A = this chain, B = another copy of it.
Amino acid sequence: MARIKDVAKEAGVAPSTVSLVLNKKGYVSEETRLKVEAAVEKLNYIPSEMARNLSLQRTNIIGVIVPSISHPFFSELAEALETELYSLGYKMMLCCTKYKENSERKFIEMLKRQTMDGIIMGAHSLDVSIYEGLKEPVIAFDRYLNDNIPIVHCDHCIGGRLAAEAFLQHDCHHVIGIEGYQGVHTPANDYHRVFHETMRQHGVTTDILEMPWNAFTYEDFLATAEKLFKEYRDIDGIFGSDMAIASCMRVAAQRGYRIPRDIKMVAYDGTGMTQTGIQPITAVRQPIEKLAAIAAQKVVSKVKGTKDNLPWVLQPRLLKGETC
């Protein structure tokens, strides 16, 4: 493996000159530039990123923490983050916290070890004390960590209202909201709050079914759906995340309910999965790509110490499907 000094020797110049040529910095005479380029070519020289990193004190890697990545919301998020980070010249290192005992703590540790330049944090952690006093660049994605860590998120109050309005057009009487574990401190809790408030203002009975913490597999959602139909009999509406609704559709069908005739359903998130299958799902869509692009740009701004004028909050919208 050729090193910079091999190239220097081959070209008959000093390593520093090779460095200048490679990084197009300073003034180098045409003549030596050509000599260096020829040497690079001849030796098939490729600079070591590790050495540059140490010298420049950065890695151009951004860490992304999510609970799961097989879950459609996070898989769309991760894809959008990777795409945006790539276009900003960064690579994405992924950490899924689900099932991994304090992998998040280790990841933060890696941030301090300068394994990455910054982090976008979107996991459902209960203990966020590790973020206290953290000097490194962190952006939260739809998650409250502490007063110093800004949050990119969707306006969930509007989201909750859009969902409620969808149900209210079809006079339901009893609607169940499937919620994530409420111990997680997130702006997303707003959409349920506003949803129930709005529904009750219009005289609709609502109930809440809370899911266990960090439950993201389809088995988790199917189990919750089973539980819902066991506990509640006279219902005519269900509101929950994409996966929750897709699971309820299965259980509802098994029990002979017709959708939307017998039960209306509205999903929150509006990932691609709501658009396939026998019935496309009526859903409140979070602008995942845009949220991701903003989160990526914000974290890079923080790493570089620059400013941007991007908004922190974006609007969701309703996708009309066939379930409500």
A binding-site residues for B, Cβ under 8 Å: 46-51, 53-54, 57, 59, 61, 68-72, 75-76, 78-79, 82-83, 86, 91-96, 99-100, 103, 109-110, 112-115, 217-218, 221-222, 243, 246-247, 249-250, 252-253, 259, 271-273, 275-280
* A47 neighbours in B (Cβ, 8 Å): 113
Is the CB–CB distance between A86 and B114 below 8 Å? no
Is the CB–CB distance between A91 and B91 below 8 Å? no
Is the CB–CB distance between A50 and B54 below 8 Å? yes
Is the CB–CB distance between A253 and B276 below 8 Å? no
Is the CB–CB distance between A95 and B114 below 8 Å? no
A277 to B252, CA, bound (A): 10
Is the CB–CB distance between B50 and A59 below 8 Å? yes
Q: Pull 12 A–B residue pairs with CB atoms less than 8 Å apart, ordered by A.
A: A69-B79, A70-B72, A70-B78, A70-B271, A70-B272, A91-B93, A91-B95, A92-B93, A218-B272, A246-B277, A249-B277, A252-B278
Is the CB–CB distance between A49 and B277 below 8 Å? no
* A61 neighbours in B (Cβ, 8 Å): 93
Shortest Cβ distance from A244 into B: residue: B276
* A72 neighbours in B (Cβ, 8 Å): 70, 72, 75, 273
Copies assembled = 2
Is the CB–CB distance between A247 and B218 below 8 Å? no
Of B70, B221, B259, the residue contacting A75 (CB under 8 A) is B70
A253 to B94, CA, bound (A): 38
Shortest Cβ distance from A252 into B: residue: B278
* A46 neighbours in B (Cβ, 8 Å): 109, 112-113
A305 to B95, CA, bound (A): 26
Is the CB–CB distance between B276 and A250 below 8 Å? yes
Q: Nearest Cβ distance between residue A5 and chain B, in whole angstroms?
A: 15
Is the CB–CB distance between A114 and B48 below 8 Å? yes
Is the CB–CB distance between A49 and B110 below 8 Å? yes
Q: Nearest Cβ distance between residue A55 and chain B, in whole angstroms?
A: 9
Is the CB–CB distance between A250 and B277 below 8 Å? yes
From A82, A217, A243, A278, residue with most partner B Cβ within 10 Å: A278
* A246 neighbours in B (Cβ, 8 Å): 273, 276-277
* A96 neighbours in B (Cβ, 8 Å): 79, 82-83
Is the CB–CB distance between B48 and A51 below 8 Å? no
* A91 neighbours in B (Cβ, 8 Å): 93, 95, 110, 115
A35 to B91, CA, bound (A): 39
A217 to B280, CA, bound (A): 15
- Beyond the given pairs A68-B79, A250-B280, 4 more chain A to chain B contacts, judged by CB atoms under 8 angstroms and listed by A's residue number, are A47-B113, A82-B95, A93-B93, A278-B278
Of B68, B115, B243, the residue contacting A49 (CB under 8 A) is B115
Q: Nearest Cβ distance between residue A318 and chain B, in whole angstroms?
A: 18
Is the CB–CB distance between A70 and B76 below 8 Å? yes
Is the CB–CB distance between B48 and A50 below 8 Å? no
